[in-house]
Amino acid sequence: MSNIRIKKIGVKNYRSFNEETIVNFPDENYKKPIAIVGYNNSGKTNFLNAILYGITEKHITKDTININDLPK
C-alpha cells in the first residue's frame, strides 16, 4: 500500500489570505491527529475551501467564484 503525505500547503490571494501563508505539517513520525483551531472569522473555513479547490476536479470559473473570494 502506498501513502501520500502532504508536507506543506501555501495559500495566497484567496479570501482572507492576501499574503502567502504556508502551513507546514509534521512528518510521518507524528502519530497524533491534526486540528485546525482559531478564533471566529480567522480563516479556518477559507483555508479548508482553498485546499478543496486545489485537490478536487472542480475548476474555478466565473460561476464558482465571486467578489468575496478576492482579497480586499
pLDDT tens for 6-28 read 899 999 988 888 899 999 999 98
- DSSP code per residue over 6-60: --EEEE-SBTTB-S-EEEE---TT--S-------TTSSHHHHHHHHHHHHSSPPP
**What whole-number distance in Å separates Cα of residue 50 and Cα of residue 11?**
7
pLDDT at 51 (0 to 100): 83
**pLDDT tens column, 20-62:** 999 999 998 998 888 999 999 988 888 888 887 777 755 556 5
For the entire predicted model, the pTM comes to 0.65
**What whole-number distance in Å separates Cα of residue 69 and Cα of residue 23?**
20
